[in-house]
Amino acid sequence: MMKFCLRLVFVFILIFFLNIPAYAEKSPDNPSPADDDLILPLPHNRQMVFRPIFLGQGEAPFAQRSFRMGDPDGGFKEHPTEVSLSGSFLGQGKSGKDWLYYMAKYEVNQGQWAAVLGLAAPDQNATDKPITRITWFEAQQFLDKLNQWLFANALNKLPKSGASPGFVRLPSEAEWEFAARGGAGVSADVFDRRVPYKDRLSSCEWFAGPKSSHGKLKAMGRLKPNPLGIHDMLGNVSEMTGGLYMIEYYQGRPGGFVARGGHYLSSEKMLRSSLRTEEPFYIARGSAPPVPNQKETMGLRPVLAAVVFGDRSAAQSYADAWDSYRKGAGAATPAAVSTAPTSQKTQVSIDQAGQYLARLEEMAVNNPGMQQELGRLKSVMADVQFIQAKADGETAYAWFKIAAERGFFVYLESKKLPMVKQLIDAAKTGKREAMIEKLTTRLAEIEANISQSMENYTASLRQLETLGQAARQTGENRYLKFLLENDAAEQVRAAKLVTTHLEALVKTKRTTPEAWQNDLSSLGL
C-alpha cells in the first residue's frame, strides 16, 4: 500500500512539473478532447490541438497514398485527378508503423490568434470562434510567430522526423482533401462520397440557413467531427492552403492561393470534400492602391509537418530505396503516369522502350548484326503486347462475370425485402413475438447479403476500370454471348447495368454504390 501511494505521488509530481496530461482534458481550445490528440502549448495558457492523419501505407521511405482529388459535380475546376501523398512522421498505426502528418483539430480561433501575436484578448463571446478577416500574409506571420515560440518554449513537445522537429504551416490541397474525405480511416466507398458523414450534414457542419448557422459564425468544435476526429472541416469558415491555384491541381497556369471548403454562408448542397476556390492575394480598387484579400468567411487550419531530409540517416534511406521504388510502386504514381488504365500505363513504358530502340537503330546503321538483334527484340516486344492484350481480355471477362452475378444476386435478394417486411407487420399486428424475432433476423440476413454483394460489385467494377477499353469490351461481349446462348434475359439486364455503371465510373472516377444498388434492385426497370 505504501509503495502504491508513493508511486501515485510520483505520478502527480510528474504531471505537475513536466506538464504531462493524465488524460485528454476539456479546455476552451479543445472542447471535444480525445485520447490521441496531440496538444501543443501556446502563450498565455492557450493550446493548439492536432489530429494524426495516417496514410495506411507502412513505414518504407517512399510509402505514399495515391488517391483521387476532385468531384465530377464540381465541373472542370474539380475534375477528378490522381495525386499521391506522404507523411512527415512515423507513428504507430493500426497495423504497425506508418507515415502520418498532423492536422489542426479545429480552425484557429480568435483567442489563439491574439495569444500568439501578443494582441489584446478578444471578447469572451468571441474567443473560441474562428479568426476571420485576415490576409494570407497575416496567416503566414501568425504561423511564423507560432513556430518561433514553439521552438523557443516547447521544442520537446514537437514530434520529430529523424533529428528535425516538426513545424506548423498551411496545408497543401492534397493534405486538406485527404483529411476532409476521412483519410485511411474510412472505406474506399465512403472516401469517394461528397461528404464522409453517416449523420445528417447539419449535425456535423455549419452552413447557411435556419437549420444550421442562421447566417452567423459559430464557435469551433460544437458539432460532430469527421471520421478522423476533425471538427468543422467543410463548413463554418473556408480555410487557406499553402498552394497556388491551378485548374488541374498541380498543372496549368498558377493563379491566386487556394481556399478549401465552404462556410457559414454556403448552401448545404455546396458543401463537399472537393470544394475549392481561387482567392486573389490582392483586391483591386480602381485607381487606388490594391488591398490584401480578407473575408469574413475565411480563416485557417494549419498542419504540423517536417522537412523531408531531417538528417543524414533519412537522406541515405531515401537514396538506398530510390531505384527499387521507381521500378516498383513508384512506376504507378501520378509522377510517372496519369489515371489511365493499366494497359495504357504499360504502353507508356513500351513507347519509351520503342524510342530507345529507334535510337539504337540509328546507331546501328552500319552494323547489320546489331540491326538483326534489334529486329528480334522488337518482335519480342510485339509478342508481349499481344499476350498482355489476351490476358487483359480474360481478366475483364472474369471481373465482368463476377460483377454481373453479384448484381443479379442483389436483384434477387431485393425482391424478398417487401414480402418479409409485410410479414413482420402482420406478425406485429397479431403480437406474435417469436415470429417477429425470426422474421427480423431473416430481414437482417437479406440486408447483409445485399450489402456484401454490393461491396463485391463495386470492387469488381474498380478492377474493370484498371483495364483498357478494348479489354473491357472483349469481356462484356463474351459474357453477353454466354447469357444469350443460355436464354437468360434477366441476367442480360443485370450485365447491361454493369456496362452502364462501369462507363460512369470510368468517366467520373467515383463509385456511387447507393445509386447502383437502386438500379440493380429493379434491374433498371
CA atoms within a 13 Å half-sphere pointing along the CA-CB vector of 24: 14
Query: What does the alpha-carbon distance between residue 457 and residue 96 come to, in Å, rounded to a whole number?
Result: 30
Look-up: residue for cell 452475378?
A: 405
Classify residue 228 as exposed, middle or buried by CB count within 10 Å of its CB (0-12, 13-18, 19+): buried
Q: Tell me how far apart the alpha carbons of residues 224 and 149 are, in angstroms, rounded to a whole number.
A: 31
Identify which has the larger pLDDT, 408 or 332. Answer: 408
Task: Name the pLDDT band for 347 (thresholds 50, 70, 90).
Answer: low
Q: Which residues pair with 167 in a beta bridge?
A: 305
- pLDDT bin (cut points 50, 70, 90) of residue 127 is very high
Q: Residue 509's closest CA among 301, 341, 365?
A: 341
pLDDT at 16: 39
Residue 294: which pLDDT band, with cuts at 50, 70 and 90?
A: very high
User: CA dist 466 to 40, 164, 339, 469, Å?
Assistant: 44, 40, 9, 9
Q: Count other C-beta atoms under 10 Å from residue 407's C-beta.
A: 29
Q: What are phi and psi of 164, to 5 degrees?
A: -100, 130
Quote the percentage of the chain above a pLDDT of 90. Answer: 69
Q: Which of 143-147, 187-191, 415-419 bottoms out in mean pLDDT, i.e. has the lowest?
A: 187-191
Q: Which pLDDT belongs to residue 337?
A: 55
Task: Please tell me the predicted confidence (pLDDT) of residue 336.
Answer: 59
Mean pLDDT of 222-233: 97
Determine the pLDDT at residue 355.
60
Tell me what pLDDT residue 382 has. 66
Tell me what pLDDT residue 458 has: 94
Residue 457's nearest CA partner among 446, 467, 468, 449 is: 449
Question: How far is 263 from 130, CA to CA, in rounded Å?
Answer: 11
3-state secondary structure 305-323: ECCCCCCHHHHHHHHHHHH
pLDDT in tens, 246-268: 999 988 999 999 999 999 999 99
| pLDDT of res. 377 | 67
pLDDT at 367: 78
**Res. 23 pLDDT band, cuts 50 70 90:** very low
Beta pairing class for 298-299 and 238-244: parallel
CA angle 216/222/224 to nearest 5° reads 120
Q: Are 193 and 201 in contact (CB under 8 A)?
A: no
- pLDDT > 90? residue 327: no
Q: How confident is the model at residue 1 (pLDDT cuts 50, 70, 90)?
A: very low
Q: 42 by DSSP, 3-state: which?
A: coil
Q: What per-residue confidence (pLDDT) applies to 334?
A: 67
Computed over every residue of the chain, the mean pLDDT equals 88
Q: What is the CATH number of domain 32-313?
A: 3.90.1580.10
DSSP secondary structure string, 421-438? Answer: HHHHHHHHHTT-HHHHHH
What confidence score (pLDDT) does residue 487 get? 83
Residue 186 has pLDDT above 70, yes or no: yes
More confident residue, 7 or 424: 424
* CB-CB contact of 157 with 40 (8 Å): yes
Name 489's Cβ contacts closer than 8 Å, sequence gap at least 6. none
Cell numbers at 353, concatenated:
522502350
pLDDT of 15 above 50:
no
State the average pLDDT over residues 328-352.
Answer: 58
pLDDT for residue 388: 75
CA distance linking residue 285 with residue 256, whole number of Å: 17
Would you say 41 and 54 are in contact if contact means Cβ atoms under 8 Å apart? Answer: no
Q: 200 pLDDT exceeds 80?
A: yes
Task: Give the residue-averaged pLDDT of 480-506.
Answer: 92
Integer Cα distance of 451 and 487 in angstroms: 28
How is 125-152 classified by DSSP, letter by letter? Answer: TTTTSBP-S--HHHHHHHHHHHHHHHHH
Cell of 473: 469490351
DSSP per residue, 260-294: ES--TTS-GGG--TT-EEEE-SEEEETTEEEEE--
pLDDT at 351: 56
- Cα angle for residues 297, 269, 507 (degrees, 5° grid): 115
Is pLDDT of 17 > 50?
A: no
Q: Which three cell numbers stand for residue 332?
A: 504507378
Pairing status of strand 81-85 against strand 303-305: unpaired
| Portion of the chain with pLDDT greater than 70, in percent | 87
Q: Which amino acid is at 497?
A: L
Mean pLDDT of 187-207: 94
pLDDT digits (tens, 9 = 90+) for 351-386: 555 665 666 667 677 777 777 776 776 666 666 666
For the ranges 35-49, 167-181, 312-326, 354-368, which has the lowest average pLDDT? 354-368
Band of pLDDT at residue 517, cut at 50, 70 and 90: very high
Residue 232, sorted as left (phi over 0), alpha (psi -120 to 50) or beta, turns out to be left
Handedness of CA 196, 197, 200, 206 (dihedral sign): negative
Task: List residues bridging with 278 in a β-sheet.
Answer: 258
Rounded distance, CA 436 to CA 421, Å?
Answer: 10
Each residue's pLDDT tens digit, 104-122: 999 999 999 999 999 999 9
How far is it, in rounded angstroms, from Cα 77 to Cα 346?
29
pLDDT of 3 > 80? The answer is no
The DSSP H or E segment spanning 354 is helix 342-363
- Which set of grid coordinates corresponds to residue 77? 475546376
> Domain limits of the chain?
32-313, 387-522
Return the minimum-mean-pLDDT range out of 12-26, 55-69, 146-160, 434-448: 12-26
